[in-house]
Amino acid sequence: MKNIVILGSTGSIGKSALEVIKNFPHKFRVLGLAAKSSINTLERQIKEFHPSYVAVYDEKAYEELKSRVKNCEILYGLEGIHKLATLPQADIILSAIVGAAGLLPTYEAVKAGKTIGLANKESLVLAGELIKKEAKRSNAKIIPVDSEHSAVFQCINGCNKPYIRKIWLTASGGPFRGRKKHEIENVTPQEALNHPKWKMGKRITIDSATLMNKGFEVIEAHYLFDIPVDQIGVLIHPQSIVHCLVEFIDGTYLAQMSEPDMKAPIALALSLPERLPNVVKPIDWTVTTKLQFELPDTGVFPCLHLAYEAIKIGGTMPAVLNASDEVAVEAFLSGKLKFNDIYKIIKKVMDAHSAYSANSIEEILKADSWARKRAKKEIEG
């Protein structure tokens, strides 16, 4: 039986992971759960899964949960989350905290040599080189949980890398696929949050609508698989059945396919080297009779281009990309920015930044902090 720690248990990935664990109680035990402040959801999870440890980032939420729950050790703040990320008895740390907040706990788990199910793509976007270097030193194992990266992981496992010509990551195209630039200028947050295929948190859903999320996935794939960024492409695939295509030098391809359900990559990350039965429903090929693919329109969705630009510049630029995107998306959701202005703010911040090679997490966080302040200044005008 594997002991599982879930960092970000009240988010969409955390909830899906707990569904998998619930269906296979003989395979997994919940050792620890961590959340920011959603203690009502967290309290229900504690009652159902009986973790030994719980960590709450927000102080007020921590005090409230302590008054409600007595049957497990409740830890506070970033220090508490780091303790969960490095528990000696943990077999797998599922890193599912949203955004840059997931970087430090992920890095602590890597330093401790843990096996990490990585759903927090920002960790590699911000600090890919540092995390790779530390994982090599500590023998940490990183298993991708994003559906596209899990798909690539499955397709190239045991493959000789020189035989790979290109990796294609797929994207549904989001709610505005096929629209012209002027047609999405005045879309509302509610329209942008109406993703056609996936149910996710607000930030990642907006990033999917701008295609920035796919740009982050390109950066993540570059670090996960040691593939040059020029050999990583993006295809719009509205059915979301094919999660990646791996193109080989002989002109042949491998694809990984399933119904769009995050429980599939989560279950695989938790169960490796096994596969669990009946995790998601099989594809009904009498209903799914057409698979479409097209190249993304970066004229309408230029955020994808910014991600390629950031990783090619390297150094601290991907951290600046992520930080300015977080701030711009938050501003859009609160009505302070128009949809197309998300790109404009990110580009202004990137243009103002002189990227440098970061030799520590502290330097990454310094660039992140600078970018957030600069983005807020650009938004305020």
Q: What's the pLDDT tens digit per position in 130-153?
A: 999 999 999 999 999 999 999 999
- For residue 194, the model assigns a pLDDT of 87
Give the DSSP per-residue string, 79-135: HHHHHHHT-TT-SEEEE---GGGGHHHHHHHHHTT-EEEE--THHHHHHHHHHHHHH
- For residue 196, the model assigns a pLDDT of 78
Higher pLDDT, 273 or 198: 273
- For residue 197, the model assigns a pLDDT of 73
Pick the CATH number of 2-144 from 3.10.20.90, 2.40.170.20, 3.30.230.10, 3.40.50.720: 3.40.50.720
- For residue 8, the model assigns a pLDDT of 96
| CA dist list (Å): 272 to 10, 81, 91, 248, 268 | 24, 25, 12, 25, 6
User: Sorting pLDDT into bands at 50, 70 and 90, what band is 199?
Assistant: confident
User: Sorting pLDDT into bands at 50, 70 and 90, what band is 195?
Assistant: confident
In DSSP terms, 34 is beta-bridged to 7, 55
Share of the chain above pLDDT 90, in %: 92
Is 53's pLDDT higher than 80?
yes
- For residue 117, the model assigns a pLDDT of 98
Query: What angle (nearest 5°) sits at the alpha carbon of residue 262, between those of residues 259 and 264?
Result: 70
- For residue 248, the model assigns a pLDDT of 97
Q: What's the pLDDT tens digit per position in 274-315?
A: 999 999 999 999 998 899 999 999 999 999 999 999 999 999
- For residue 98, the model assigns a pLDDT of 84
What pTM was computed for the model? 0.93
Is 78's pLDDT higher than 90?
yes
- For residue 99, the model assigns a pLDDT of 82
Is 381's pLDDT higher than 80?
no
Where exactly are the structural domains of the chain? 2-144, 149-260+291-313
Is 210's pLDDT higher than 90?
yes
- For residue 288, the model assigns a pLDDT of 86
Q: What's the pLDDT tens digit per position in 335-379?
A: 999 999 999 999 999 999 999 999 999 999 999 999 999 999 999
User: Sorting pLDDT into bands at 50, 70 and 90, what band is 159?
Assistant: confident
Helices (H), the chain: 12-23, 39-49, 59-68, 77-85, 103-111, 122-138, 147-156, 189-192, 202-210, 212-225, 263-271, 303-313, 317-333, 341-352, 361-380
Q: What's the pLDDT tens digit per position in 80-92?
A: 999 999 999 999 9
Give Cα 348 distance to the centre of its chain: 24
Residue with tokens 């973790």: 51
Is 331's pLDDT higher than 80?
yes
